[in-house]
């Protein structure tokens, strides 16, 4: 069986690793992949924005099943292109990807379906936006309307900060010269939670809840990143809370998509804030989370591939998923300077030793003459598995002690729940 995984991060390495452990006879391919993925899959060097060429490759190579990691190929319509060629692929269509690709679309969708979310205002007019900000309570959240690789959100503590972000959008046009809509949104406080489900448009399977750390420095200081660490399970996410999330958020979302005649097959990732009023949606993503996937998949006892295939065939059943009791903690090691500019091609040492309870998922790595070197901002995910979060955390940090590259940076407070509370 031939499986193709699209993407090049820790998330895609975790997906390849999980499938390689389930289906010994599988031949794995990854476009474009990274050096860690290259240890278990064939790397195919096609740029991620060349969707036609990826589909042509899949057809020629007779790929049986494709899994898409990042949002850009989904928003570009890769699933529609594969479906036209009668190639099996897991992920939502271009239209369905609006749930993530357009903040305006998704907020209006939430309002229409009474899905709890912060109060908001949408405009594509700079003067109108300024007027809303003048009347807002601070902090106020301003979101650029389209995809912006995680950089399109500002939490403005004061008026000047809000205006400066609006100027970036409307005058400097830093995100787009055409689409300049913004969402101005109520600031929500509480604990964040990543709640992912797999759905084929009707039935759904919830994945193990995870908690992501977005800021670069300890104690949530510094700028936002793609994610500096993660853990699962999440103590704040009790069984009762999960029931509320399903009833008030997951089911209304799936029903709302049906109402709009959208056949949704894929992941729906609910970025939630657990507020005093209950769980509220901060954002939707239409794909696996990164680094959430790196802690969710090591905890999954059942077959990921079987579940994803069942979703595509429209035969999803909740009993298909079984979770291990163990906890998982992922500490991300990044290049010094990230999320700003950073150096690459720095040799990494200490990756050789293997153990059953620590797994290393590569993100920005490549190989030069048999040596692993850095090639991106987030470089490695060191994932510890243990009988509880404390043990999993200790294992991840102990393993990091033997990994080194110049200027490496990681947070020291991932899953440190005592400090957090
Ligand atoms: P988003 O891309 O919409 O998920 O926003 C990125 C991050 O900004 C979220 O993970 C939160 O940490 C934060 N954020 C977004 N919206 C809000 C909000 N309404 N209130 C508080 N924090 C928010
Ligand atoms: N962990 C955040 C994301 O995948 O968007």
The three-class DSSP label of residue 45 is coil
For ligand 1, whether the C-beta of 190 sits within 6 Å is no
How far apart are the C-alpha atoms of 320 and 18, rounded to whole Å?
A: 16
Two structure tokens written together for 67:
């899994």
Considering only CA atoms, which residue is closest to atom 1 of ligand 1?
283
Ligand index nearest the alpha carbon of residue 138: 1
Write the residue with the smallest CA distance to atom 7 of ligand 1: 153
Verify cis geometry, omega within 30 degrees of 0, for the bond prior to 177: no
Query: Relative to the alpha carbon of 287, which ligand is closest?
Result: 2
Region(s) of the chain under CATH 3.30.1490.20: 119-186
Atom 15 (ligand 1) nearest CA? 282
CA atoms in the 13 A half-sphere facing the CB of 292? 25
Which stretches within 304-362 are classed as H helix? 304-313
Our answer on whether the CB atom of 156 is closer than 6 Å to any ligand 1 atom is: no
* Residue ranges matching CATH 3.90.600.10 in the chain: 327-420
Ligand at minimal distance from the CA of 220 is: 1
Task: Give me the sign of the Cα torsion angle 39, 41, 46, 50.
Answer: negative
What is the C-alpha radius of gyration for the chain, rounded to an integer number of angstroms? 21
Architecture of the CATH domain 327-420: Alpha-Beta Complex (3.90)
What fold is seen in the domain 119-186? Dna Ligase; domain 1 (3.30.1490)
Residue 230 Cα: closest atom of ligand 2: 1
Whole-number Å distance between alpha carbons of 226 and 116: 25
Query: Cα–Cα distance between 309 and 23 in angstroms, integer?
Result: 13
Q: How far apart are CA 100 and CA 260, in angstroms?
A: 16
Helix (H, G, I), strand (E, B) or coil at 317: coil
Distance 227 CA to ligand 2 centre (A): 7
Q: Which ligand is nearest the CA of 332, by number?
A: 2
Stretches in the chain below the pLDDT threshold 70: 179, 420-421
Please state, in angstroms and rounded to a whole number, the distance separating the CA atoms of residues 51 and 56.
9
CA dihedral sign of residues 339, 345, 347, 352: positive
Nearest alpha carbon, ligand 1 atom 3? 283
Q: How far is the CA of 61 from the centre of ligand 2 (A)?
A: 31
Q: Measure 98 CA to ligand 1 centroid, in angstroms.
A: 18
Q: Which ligand is located closest to the Cα atom of residue 292?
A: 2
CA nearest ligand 2 atom 3, residue:
289
Please say whether the structural domain 2-91 has been given the CATH code 3.60.20.30: no
pLDDT of residue 223: 87
Q: Rounded to whole angstroms, what are the CA distances from 402 to 299, 333, 352? A: 24, 12, 10
Determine the pLDDT at residue 180: 78
214 lines ligand 1 (CB under 6 A): yes
Torsion from C-alpha of 21, 22, 28, 31, nearest 10 degrees = -80
Q: Which atom of ligand 1 is nearest to the CA of 187?
A: 20
pLDDT of residue 420: 65
- In CATH terms, the superfamily for domain 191-320 is ATP-grasp fold, B domain (3.30.470.20)
User: How far apart, in whole angstroms, are the C-alpha atoms of residue 379 and residue 374?
Assistant: 6
CB 190 within 8 A of CB 276: yes
CATH 3.30.470.20 domain position(s) in the chain: 191-320
Q: Report the distance separating Cα 335 and Cα 281, nearest Å.
A: 31
Q: What's the start-to-end Cα distance of the chain, in Å?
A: 47
39 lines ligand 1 (CB under 6 A): no
Cα 291 to chain center, whole Å?
6
Ligand 1 centroid, distance to 155 Cα (angstroms)? 8
Q: Under a CB-based contact definition with an 8 Å cutoff, are residues 75 and 97 in contact? A: yes
Q: Name which residue sits closest to atom 5 of ligand 1, judged by CA.
A: 153
118 lines ligand 1 (CB under 6 A): yes
Q: Which atom of ligand 1 is nearest to the CA of 189?
A: 21
Count Cβ atoms below 10 Å from residue 190 Cβ, excluding itself: 15
Please, is 279 exposed, middle or buried when counting C-beta atoms within 10 Å of its C-beta (0-12, 13-18, 19+)? buried
CATH 3.40.50.20 domain range(s) in the chain: 2-91
Q: Is 188 in the pocket of ligand 1 (CB under 6 A)?
A: yes
Q: What is the best residue among 187, 283, 339 to mutate for testing ligand 1's pocket, by most ligand atoms within 8 Å of CB? A: 283
The reply to whether ligand 1 has any atom less than 6 angstroms from the CB of 187 is: yes
Ligand 2 pocket, residues with Cβ under 6 angstroms: 212, 227, 285, 289-290, 292
* pLDDT attached to residue 384: 98
Angstrom distance (rounded) from CA 11 to CA 192: 20
What DSSP designation does 370 have? T
- Beta carbon of 216 within 6 Å of any ligand 1 atom: no
Decide whether any atom of ligand 1 lies within 6 Å of the 142 Cβ. no
Q: Compute the half-sphere exposure of residue 137: CA atoms within 13 Å on the CB side of its CA.
A: 6
CA 269 to CA 92: how far, in whole Å? Answer: 12
pLDDT at 205: 98
Judge residue 383's burial from the number of C-beta atoms within 10 Å of its C-beta, 0-12 exposed, 13-18 middle, 19 or more buried.
Answer: buried
């Amino acid at each position: 069986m031939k499986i193709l995984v699209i993407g090049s991060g820790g998330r895609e390495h975790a997906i390849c690793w999980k499938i390689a452990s389930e289906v010994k006879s599988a031949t794995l391919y990854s476009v474009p992949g990274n050096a860690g993925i290259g240890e278990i899959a064939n790397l195919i060097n096609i740029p991620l924005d060349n969707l036609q060429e990826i589909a042509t490759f899949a057809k020629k190579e007779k790929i049986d099943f494709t899994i898409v990691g990042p949002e850009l190929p989904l928003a570009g319509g890769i699933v529609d292109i594969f479906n036209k060629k009668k190639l099996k692929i897991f992920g939502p269509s271009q239209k369905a990807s609006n749930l993530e690709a357009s903040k305006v679309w998704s907020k209006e969708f939430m309002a229409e379906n009474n899905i709890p979310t912060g109060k908001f205002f949408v405009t594509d007019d700079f003067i109108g936006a300024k007027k809303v900000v003048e009347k807002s309570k601070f902090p106020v959240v301003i979101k650029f309307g389209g995809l912006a690789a995680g950089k399109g959100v500002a939490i403005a503590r004061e008026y000047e900060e809000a205006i400066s972000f609006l100027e970036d959008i409307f005058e400097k046009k830093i995100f787009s010269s055409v689409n300049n809509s913004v969402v101005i949104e109520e600031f929500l406080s509480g604990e964040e939670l990543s709640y992912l489900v797999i759905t084929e448009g009707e039935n759904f399977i919830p994945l193990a809840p995870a908690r992501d750390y977005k800021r670069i420095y300890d104690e949530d200081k510094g700028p936002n990143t793609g994610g500096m660490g993660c853990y699962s399970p999440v103590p704040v996410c009790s069984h009762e809370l999960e029931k509320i999330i399903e009833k008030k958020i997951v089911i209304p979302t799936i029903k709302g998509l049906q109402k709009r005649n959208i056949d949704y097959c894929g992941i729906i990732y609910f970025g939630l804030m657990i507020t005093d009023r209950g769980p509220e949606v901060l954002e939707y993503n239409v794909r696996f989370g990164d680094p959430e996937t790196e802690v969710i998949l090591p905890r999954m006892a059942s077959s990921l591939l079987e579940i994803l295939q069942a979703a595509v065939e429209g035969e999803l059943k909740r009993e298909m998923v079984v979770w291990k009791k163990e906890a998982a903690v992922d500490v991300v090691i990044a290049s010094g300077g990230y999320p700003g500019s950073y150096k690459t091609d720095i040799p990494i040492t200490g990756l050789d030793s293997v153990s059953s309870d620590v797994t290393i998922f590569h993100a920005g790595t490549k190989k030069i003459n048999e040596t692993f070197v850095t090639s991106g901002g987030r470089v490695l995910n060191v994932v510890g598995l243990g009988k509880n979060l404390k043990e999993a955390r200790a294992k991840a940090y102990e393993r990091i002690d033997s990994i080194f590259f110049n200027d490496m940076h990681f947070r020291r407070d991932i899953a440190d729940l005592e400090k957090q509370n």
